[in-house]
Amino acid sequence: MRLSRSSRNRNIRRYTLPQIAGIVVISAYGISQITTPTYALLTNVAATESSNITTAFVFPSTVDHIANQASEAMKLAAWQREAAREVLAEITDKNTGSETAEGRIGGIQEAAAQTREAAAGAAAFLAELQGYLTRSQLELEQQVNEVNQRLSPYEVDFYQLTAAQNNDIPVFEQLLSQANLTLGEFQEMVRKLSSIRRVDAYVQAAYHQASTAAEQARSYADETSLMHTEAADVIQGLKEAEKKAKLEAEEKAKLEAEEKAKLEAEKKTKLEAEEKAKLEAEEKAKLEAEEKAKLEAEEKAKLEAEEQAKPEAPAPDANPDSITVKIGEKQGVF
């Protein structure tokens, strides 16, 4: 049964200053004085008549755990990015060949996949918190609307009440009377609004943490993917450089072989020419020797013939008194 306005005014005046001061404390500390982080966030109030117990749709530890999971996903993405950096450094080392680099690029590819998965996980946690945030903001808006609907017909603002409660008790009492509110009703209004604001503040903090983690994880995933692209480009460059070097080496070897063959051919030709010249010289010398021998033989024969053709000198006569008579080819000694 609702009391008349005069009765309510008398009830208000029964509260002593210490009691009013207690209400001021509750309003001043607001969010921090409603619950501790170990209890559920109280929203969507549905109090029973006997116990005035309120329901809760999420615990602070729940949203905190979700935000921490997003942060852990970000840390995993960061770790995978660093692993990819190390592999990329090995691939870009000047002493690394394409074959070795191709064997290492799989590490970057795996790291890129892990960072994408971690980023997706962080985004999923953020989306879950987005649901809580949307609900908390909706409930806060609804509660503010309910307060305004309750007070606006009396041209009283909730913040006027809380300011007067903190600074001017007589004005506070006057505003309560003007708004046709009991102190208990006002306390309940403060409690509900403070509870919902606490929910919204806590969920917003968790959402901000998860949002930062998700954004950073996505950045790590993009960076790692770029590392994979860079590594692939490096390997392609190594292959082209090695192919070019191989062709140049083959061309050099070909030229060297041709030059060597040319020199060998020239040397062979020279040797053959020398050998030919030597043989010719020997042949010439032989012919000359033979010619000389022939001439000498002919000369000798000629001399011998001439010698034979010469008349023989008479042999010394044992008889000095004998007379030698040569008639024709015969001669006689007498």
Helix/strand/coil for 235: helix
| Per-residue pLDDT tens over the stretch 287-298 | 777 888 788 878
Q: In this structure, what token pair is assigned to residue 328? A: 């024709």
- Distance, in Å, from the CA atom of 22 to the CA atom of 188, rounded to the nearest integer, reads 14
**Contact, 94 vs 28, CB < 8 A?**
no
Place of tokens 């970057």: 108
pLDDT winner (highest mean) among 32-46, 159-173, 216-230, 319-333: 216-230
| Per-residue pLDDT tens over the stretch 309-320 | 876 666 665 555
CB-count exposure of residue 331 (10 Å: 0-12, 13-18, 19+)? exposed
Return the axis-axis angle of helices 169-178 and 17-29, rounded to nearest 10°. 80
Q: Read off the DSSP letter of residue 311.
A: P
Among 4-13, 207-216, 280-289, the range scoring the smallest mean pLDDT is 4-13
| Per-residue pLDDT tens over the stretch 199-220 | 889 899 999 999 999 999 999 9
Q: Span 31-48, mean pLDDT?
A: 37
- Residue 67 pLDDT class (50, 70, 90 cuts): very high
**Contact, 94 vs 165, CB < 8 A?**
no
- Distance, in Å, from the CA atom of 88 to the CA atom of 36, rounded to the nearest integer, reads 49
